[in-house]
Amino acid sequence: MPTLPDFRLETYFARWEFSARYHLTASDAQTLPMSELLALADDDGRERWESLALGYTETRGLPALRAEIAATYSDAEPQDILCFAGAEEAIYLAMRTLLEPSDHVVVLTPNYQAAETIPLSVCEVTGVALRPEDDWALDVDAIERVLRPNTRMVSVNFPNNPTGAVPSLDSWHRLVQLCDERGITLFSDEVYRGLELEVPSLPQATDLSGTALSLNVMSKAYGLPGLRIGWIACRDRAVLDKLERAKHYTTICNSAPSEVLALIALRARENLLDRNRRIVAENLPVFGRFFARYPELFEFTPPDGGCVCFPRYLGTDGVEAMCAELVDQAGVLLLPSSIYGSALTETPTDRFRVGLGRRDPAEALDVWAAWLEKR
């Protein structure tokens, strides 16, 4: 198989994520210290943590954790869950294991780069763009037009990274039905589900289709990326069998402490999601006021869901220069649109990603404002 290209986002973050003073483009919700997470534990979770032995764990994941994950779906059982070391391992193994060189895949753009470059390393891929002029709406007709007899998978991400878009319920049901009717696997990245403010959460793909794969992780909506616990839910257990065998060649099993901590967190999931939705809700007017101060420079639309969005930069210097100079001169980190460039479709070149899920952005915004006003 071809060598994968550099992961643009991770390469950029390797340079700036831990050296820039102000991280205004974080994709995860505000995390919490171990002491606060452990304080949420029930008696069983506390006992599991305090008596934990650091041996190998089951490849598919701690049974109690898989049961708790299954409880987040309406139609999944613990046997329909396979845990991974974060979402990236799940994406990588699903694309590399379930696709063949003779297959064809449809991928929505803009997207998390792995959703595009990994299938491209295996087979033919067609992109369908979410367009800003359509408010990033899901166009099921556009997807249907590019389907082929050998289309094996349609890959989507909602709430979308980086736009924050959530499709209408009708469009979502139409897409699931289209994939089922054509015998196509729907791969649904749902890592921001639960952070919707003004629209309801979509039904999860695996609850609507017996063949769809629903991807989730503790990192984004739950704000616990350091646990490195993700999962795929799928009611086609033969698919999970294939993925389990593939996992034998990567991580083999997950971290035992991380699995227990994820179990504790998921048992307190409504507490965590309520907390993180409040943070986003509190931040939205703060960012709205900032961008409203500079109407000649920015167009800002709040996301439908998740904790990232994709404002437009109108400055004559261009978004790439603005982001590069801002982090270099003022220590404020944003993600320019080149990070989301696609080999499959035209993607906007005047956008940048902002993270809305971290507490207390005011100081960073003040530094950004001072930098803008000195230019």
Q: What pLDDT, on a 0 to 100 scale, did the predictor assign at position 375?
A: 84
* Domain, as residue range, for 21: 8-33+270-374
Whether residue 213 sits in one domain with residue 91: yes
The pLDDT of residue 318 is above 70: yes
Nearest of 290, 319, 359, 5 to residue 162 by alpha carbon = 319
The pLDDT of residue 1 is above 70: no
On whether residue 17 sits in a domain, the answer given is yes
On whether residue 2 sits in a domain, the answer given is no
Give the Cα separation of 161 and 49 in Å (integer): 33
Q: Write the DSSP string, 164-215.
A: -----HHHHHHHHHHHHHHT-EEEEE-TTTT--SSSPPPPPHHHH-SS-EEE
Q: What pLDDT, on a 0 to 100 scale, did the predictor assign at position 2?
A: 63
Rounded to an integer, the average pLDDT of 101-107 is 98
Whether residue 251 sits in one domain with residue 231: yes
Whether residue 116 sits in one domain with residue 26: no
Total domain count, the chain:
2
On whether residue 68 sits in a domain, the answer given is yes
For the record, the structure tokens of 129 come out as 């763009």
On whether residue 355 sits in a domain, the answer given is yes
Q: What pLDDT, on a 0 to 100 scale, did the predictor assign at position 33?
A: 97
Whether residue 275 sits in one domain with residue 139: no
Mean pLDDT computed over every residue of the chain: 97
Rounded to an integer, the average pLDDT of 96-107 is 98
The pLDDT of residue 313 is above 90: yes
Q: What pLDDT, on a 0 to 100 scale, did the predictor assign at position 26?
A: 97
Whether residue 274 sits in one domain with residue 256: no
On whether residue 3 sits in a domain, the answer given is no
Nearest of 122, 142, 144, 121 to residue 131 by alpha carbon = 142
On whether residue 180 sits in a domain, the answer given is yes
Last residue in a domain, options 251, 267, 283: 267
Whether residue 91 sits in one domain with residue 205: yes
CATH number of the domain that residue 360 is part of: 3.90.1150.10
Contacting residues for 15 by C-beta, under 8 A, at least 6 apart: none
Last residue in a domain, options 221, 250, 267: 267
Helices (H) and strands (E) in the chain, counts: 14, 14
Q: What pLDDT, on a 0 to 100 scale, did the predictor assign at position 372?
A: 97
Q: What pLDDT, on a 0 to 100 scale, did the predictor assign at position 32?
A: 95
Whether residue 127 sits in one domain with residue 175: yes
Whether residue 317 sits in one domain with residue 247: no
Written as one letter, the residue type at 108 is L
Q: What pLDDT, on a 0 to 100 scale, did the predictor assign at position 3?
A: 82
* Model pLDDT for residues 154-181, shown as the tens digit of each residue: 999 999 999 999 999 999 999 999 999 9
DSSP 354: E
CATH number of the domain that residue 233 is part of: 3.40.640.10
Rounded to an integer, the average pLDDT of 255-263 is 98
The pLDDT of residue 121 is above 60: yes
Whether residue 195 sits in one domain with residue 137: yes
Q: Is 124 helix (H, G, I), strand (E, B) or coil?
A: strand
Give the Cα separation of 214 and 211 in Å (integer): 10
Whether residue 205 sits in one domain with residue 65: yes
* Model pLDDT for residues 183-224, shown as the tens digit of each residue: 999 999 999 999 999 899 999 999 999 999 999 999 999 999
On whether residue 275 sits in a domain, the answer given is yes
On whether residue 192 sits in a domain, the answer given is yes
Whether residue 286 sits in one domain with residue 240: no
The pLDDT of residue 328 is above 60: yes
Whether residue 195 sits in one domain with residue 138: yes
% of the chain beyond a pLDDT of 70: 99
Last residue in a domain, options 267, 298, 314: 267
